[in-house]
Amino acid sequence: MIGSSIAWVSVETSDEWFAALLRLLTLADYNTRIVILGTALLGCAAGVVGSFTLLRKRALVGDAISHAMLPGLGIAFLVATLSGGDGRSLPILFTGATISGLVGAAAILGLRSTWRLSEDAAFGIVLSVFFGAGVALLGVIQSLEAGHAAGLEGFIYGKTASLSWMDLMVIITAAAVALVLCTMYFKELALLCFDQAYAETQGYSKWWLDGLLMSLVVGIAITGMQAVGLILVIALLIIPAAAARFWTHRLSRQVLISAGIGMAGCFGGGMTSALLPNLPAGAVIILACATLFLFSLMFGGAQGLVWRAIRRRQWQQIMLRQHLLRAVYERAEAKTTEPKIVRESEVRIEIADLMISRSWSRTQLERLVDGAQREGLITRIGSQVALSKPGWVQAKKLTHQHRLWEMYLITHADVALQQVDRLADDIEHVLEPSVIHELERLLQGRTAEVVKSPHQIPEPS
C-alpha cells in the first residue's frame, strides 16, 4: 500500500505475497500506476535539473525556493477563501506557490548581486524568512473555520498516496517542459556551469540563464509538493545528481545517469511503500534515492571508492615494477666498464643486491620479481635476475625519464642532491615537450660536470 489510498490486500501465504508483488510490478492497480508513474517522471525531471544546479554550485537553491513557496500557499488560500472562492483549489494554490517561489528566487539573486552577500547567506535568509512567514500564515489559517479542513500541511510532507489523474497530467506536463528546455539550452546551461565568463563573451546573458535555471527549479519544486512535499523535494534535486557524479565526468552522461537514478529511486521507493503500508511513500522514496547514492559512492566507475582503491592499487604495482626494472638496469650499468655496449642478458644481478637499492623486504622483492618474470620483463636464473629484451627497452626508457627529472630538479628547482632521487621517484606527471627538449640538451652536455651521486646522471646505455 502507498499511503491510505491504495487498497491493501492482507497476505498470509507466500503465494499470496508473490501474487501481490506481481500486481505491483505489473502496475495492475489504477492508483499504483498513477503514483509510480507520477513519481518516476518527477524523479527523472528533478535529476536532469539537479545536475545543472549541482554543477552551478547552487544545490541548496532548491531547498530555499521550496521553503519560499510555503507563504504563497497560505496567501493563495486566504485570498481565495476570503473572496468566497475555493481555497483548496489546486490551480489557485499552485499559482500562489509559483509566485512566492519566483519571488524567493529573485530575492536570492538580488541579495547576491546587489548587496554582495555570499550564496549561503542569501539561501539562509530567504529560506528562514519565507518559511517562517509560511508557518505563521498556517497558524492564522488554522484559526479560521475553513482552515481546519484545508489540508495545507500535506504540502509540507507530501501526499504521495493521494495523487490523482489530474496530478499525473500536471507532473507529465512539468517534466516534459523541463526536459525540453534543458535539451534546447543544454550548451548554454553547460557554459553557465563551467565557464560563466566565457558564456558572457559569447553573448549569453548570465541573468537570463540563471533565471531559466531558477524557474526550472521552481517548476520541479511545485510539481513535487504533492508527491514528496516541500521539505523532501530538495532531495530529488540533489541526491540523483550527486550520485551520477561518481559514474562519469561527462556532463551529457551525468544528466542521463542522474535522470535514471531519480526514476529508479522513485520507482523503488514507491514499490517498497506499497509492500510496507505503514511507511510514508515520500520518505521511502528519498531513502531509496539515498541507497542508490551510497551504491554509487562505493561502486561508481569514475569516482567510486572501490574502483578508486583498485586503480590506486594497480598504479602502485606499476610503480613498484618500474622501480624494480630501473634498479636492475642501474646495477647492470655499475657492473660494466663499458656501459654503451651492455646488452640485456649479458649482466646478471643478485637478488640480494637489489634489496640494498630500495627498502624492499625479501617477500616483497620476490613477489615483484615473479610478477615481472610472468610479464616477460625479467629472466631469473637461481638467485640472479637479468633483463629480457622488452624489459631492457622499458628499463632504459624509465631510467632516462628518471634522470630527466633529476636534471630538472637540480637545474630548475634548486633541490639538494641528497633529495633529488627520492623526489624524482614521487613525480608522476609528464613534462611538457619544451621542457623535455631542454633537459635532453642539458643531460647530454653536462655529463662530466654533474656531481657524483648514488644514481648517476649520464645518459643510460
Q: What confidence tens digit (pLDDT) does each residue in 183-225 have?
A: 999 999 999 888 888 888 888 888 888 889 988 988 888 888 8
Residue 451: per-residue pLDDT = 38
Residue 9: per-residue pLDDT = 41
Residue 446: per-residue pLDDT = 55
Which cell numbers hold the place of 6? 491504495
Residue 189: per-residue pLDDT = 92
Residue 50: per-residue pLDDT = 92
> In angstroms, what CA-CA distances link 97 with 67, 134, 225, 258?
10, 11, 10, 26
Architecture of domain 308-445: Orthogonal Bundle (1.10)
Residue 455: per-residue pLDDT = 47
CATH 1.10.10.10 domain range(s) in the chain: 308-445
- 451-456 long-range contacts, CB within 8 A, separation 24+: 451/417, 453/417, 453/420, 453/421, 454/421, 455/330, 455/402, 455/403, 455/406, 455/420, 455/421, 456/330, 456/333
Intra-chain end-to-end CA distance of the chain, in Å: 77
Residue 6: per-residue pLDDT = 42
Q: Tell me how far apart the alpha carbons of residues 206 and 199 are, in angstroms, rounded to a whole number.
A: 8
Q: Please, what is the average pLDDT of the chain?
A: 79
Q: Tens digit of pLDDT for each residue in 350-395?
A: 888 887 777 788 888 888 888 888 888 888 888 888 888 888 888 8
DSSP state of 115: S
Residue 460: per-residue pLDDT = 53
Q: Tell me how far apart the alpha carbons of residues 103 and 285 are, in angstroms, rounded to a whole number.
A: 29
Residue 35: per-residue pLDDT = 83
The stretches in the chain having pLDDT less than 70 are 1-17, 20, 24, 28, 87, 145-151, 153, 161, 336-346, 413-440, 443-461
Residue 246: per-residue pLDDT = 94
Q: What is the pTM of this model?
A: 0.74
CATH 1.10.3470.10 domain range(s) in the chain: 14-303
Of 240, 242, 249, the residue nearest 302 (C-alpha): 249
Length of the chain as a residue count: 461
Q: Tell me how far apart the alpha carbons of residues 385 and 357 are, in angstroms, rounded to a whole number.
A: 15
CATH homologous superfamily of domain 14-303?
ABC transporter involved in vitamin B12 uptake, BtuC (1.10.3470.10)
